[in-house]
Amino acid sequence: MNAQHREDQALPAGYARWWLLPVIVLGVLAATTVAVVLAVPASELPLPDPQRPLPVRIMLAAMYLIIGIVVVNLVRHYYFTLNRLFGHQRHPYLDVDTADWPRVTILVPAHNEERVIGDILRALLEVDYPGDRLRIMPLNDRSSDRTREIIDEFARSHPGLVTPFHRTEGLAGKAAALQDALPLIKDDIVLVFDADYIPGRGLIKQLVAPFFDPEVGAVMGRVVPVNADVNLLTRILDLERAGGYQVDQQARMNLRLVPQYGGTVGGIRRRAVEAIGGWDVRSLAEDTDITLRLLLAGWKTVYQNRSECYEQVPENWRSRMAQIFRWARGHNQVLRKYAGRLIVNRRTRPAEKIDGLLLLHIYLMSPILLLGWALGVVLWYLGVTKPGLIVILAVTCYSTLGNFAVFFEIAAATYLDGTRSRVRLLPFIMSGFLVSLMSVARATVTQPFVRPTRDVHWHKTERNHRRARWE
């Protein structure tokens, strides 16, 4: 089943009524409220009244705040999923197949990538894009293996088309490498592919097309795990990626919110990035950082769901924990830097502000949930809460991150992808959730005690040769 067919897995047209979304969301909320009211009599609901000691009142207020945040996330996930299933799907740039294609530079950041660098360069040499408007720039950052040698071989056999940049000094890390390459690039459109990605022939045009819109500052395609069949972890990650891209990113695109540039299988408009000061070399998540800074400057990020490219996901829990640890630190860093500016920014719409904040706070949810559980237990032992509050938190936590909302999102994604059997693995998402909970909580809690510059270096997922499943 190809991308076009996957998109066609929509519900019957008769169901696609705009009013259905709010009705269903409100229905779910009403049903939840009724269930909670029935489960917890009003007399048993603890309130932070003045009779209680101050610390208890603070704890109760924090508890209600946490429940509120969790409910907001629940509604957000449901809303995205319902939009993806029932709402109008936006693919405004997908039809652009004929155009005066602009000149494009494709960057391939690489650090010790001898096992895969040749594969991506070969794939890029075969893409369906005018050769005289294409420049491939492997960005070799101090590799100590054969990466440099392989790249130079390609450069010799394709002079003018493959123009390598061998970096030997400066700060380590992808963001720093990209920033150093920026002055060497003359073209306005810059696409970025990590070395272990294999682009299809038509992908470059699909990723360039949105840049005809002068408002677009960045474009993101969909990444598809190529090693999904290796073990339980890769299968869980395959499901998570499906939910994240097929539902979450596309819903944000549909609703004109904030799709996220992911740093690979995507691109940026050079003059937009230069206008906002280039890549932040000290950023732990240069992709999220650039998404937010472009948004603050009035540039939009576009998600192209049908622009798919294979990636390798971590195959062991250690790599996965390191990956999510890094993402959490990066996200939190961006949240700290830009949340305030986003709220007061006059170039962004209110819906974008809300979505941007919700996007940035997602890695704060783990410590927030753990704190909520701890507060619930403490308050219960203090005799402040009857079981009601814990029940509410348990239900909302379970519904938001442990079960229904995210499960619903992933199940919807498998439905849209037409991969029905893998949905049976849905309960195992819980194990991924628990690992993420601990890893992200640790990253967030320890973050204030870490000096940012020490963290900036190359973070890589272990590479293995995998066969792509091209149609």
Measured from the CB of residue 447, what is the shortest distance to another protein in angstroms? Answer: 32
Read off the tokens for 192.
Answer: 């970025």
Residue 457 sits in the site that holds another protein (CB under 8 A): no
Residue 351 sits in the site that holds another protein (CB under 8 A): no
Stretch that binds another protein, among 1-9, 63-71, 350-358, 433-441 (CB under 8 A): 1-9
Residues 265, 270, 273, 274, CA torsion sign: positive
State how far the Cα of 206 lies from the Cα of 374, in Å rounded to an integer. Answer: 48
Q: Which of 27, 92, 170, 452 binds another protein (CB under 8 A)?
A: 92
Stretch that binds another protein, among 32-40, 151-159, 307-315, 390-398 (CB under 8 A): 307-315
Number of residues binding to another protein, judged by CB under 8 A: 66
Residue 301 sits in the site that holds another protein (CB under 8 A): no
Measured from the CB of residue 424, what is the shortest distance to another protein in angstroms? Answer: 4
Read off the tokens for 66.
Answer: 């946490």
Residue 94 sits in the site that holds another protein (CB under 8 A): yes
- The 44-63 contact track toward another protein, x by CB under 8 A, reads --------------------
Assess contact for 104 and 204: CB atoms under 8 A.
yes
Measured from the CB of residue 208, what is the shortest distance to another protein in angstroms? Answer: 12
Of the candidates 302, 96, 89, which has an alpha carbon nearest to the alpha carbon of residue 202? 96
State how far the Cα of 68 lies from the Cα of 62, in Å rounded to an integer. Answer: 10
Residue 269 sits in the site that holds another protein (CB under 8 A): yes
- Give buried/exposed letters for 136-146 (b at 16+ CB in 10 A, else e): bbbbbbbbeee
Distances (CA, A) of 65 to 39, 367, 368, 369, 426: 20, 14, 10, 11, 29
Stretch that binds another protein, among 52-60, 86-94, 150-158, 159-167 (CB under 8 A): 86-94
Residues 28-31: contacts with CB within 8 Å, 24+ apart?
28/78, 29/75
Q: Which of 228, 368, 375, 389 binds another protein (CB under 8 A)?
A: 228
Sheet (strand 266-269) strand order:
165-167, 134-141, 104-110, 189-192, 266-269, 216-225, 300-311
Would you say 101 or 373 has its CB closer to another protein? 101
Residue 186 sits in the site that holds another protein (CB under 8 A): no
Q: Which of 419, 447, 460, 463 binds another protein (CB under 8 A)?
A: 419
Would you say 200 or 356 has its CB closer to another protein? 200
State how far the Cα of 316 lies from the Cα of 462, in Å rounded to an integer. Answer: 9
Name the region of 226 (left: φ>0; alpha: ψ -120 to 50; beta: rest).
alpha
Q: Which of 96, 161, 172, 371 binds another protein (CB under 8 A)?
A: 96
Residue 227 sits in the site that holds another protein (CB under 8 A): yes
Would you say 228 or 401 has its CB closer to another protein? 228
State how far the Cα of 243 lies from the Cα of 42, in Å rounded to an integer. Answer: 37
Q: Which of 31, 39, 184, 468 binds another protein (CB under 8 A)?
A: 468
State how far the Cα of 74 lies from the Cα of 380, in Å rounded to an integer. Answer: 25
Residues that bind another protein (CB under 8 A): 1-4, 6, 90, 92-100, 128, 200-202, 205-206, 212-215, 217, 224-229, 232, 235, 238, 242, 256, 269, 271-272, 274-276, 297-299, 306, 308-310, 346-347, 417, 419-422, 424-428, 468-471
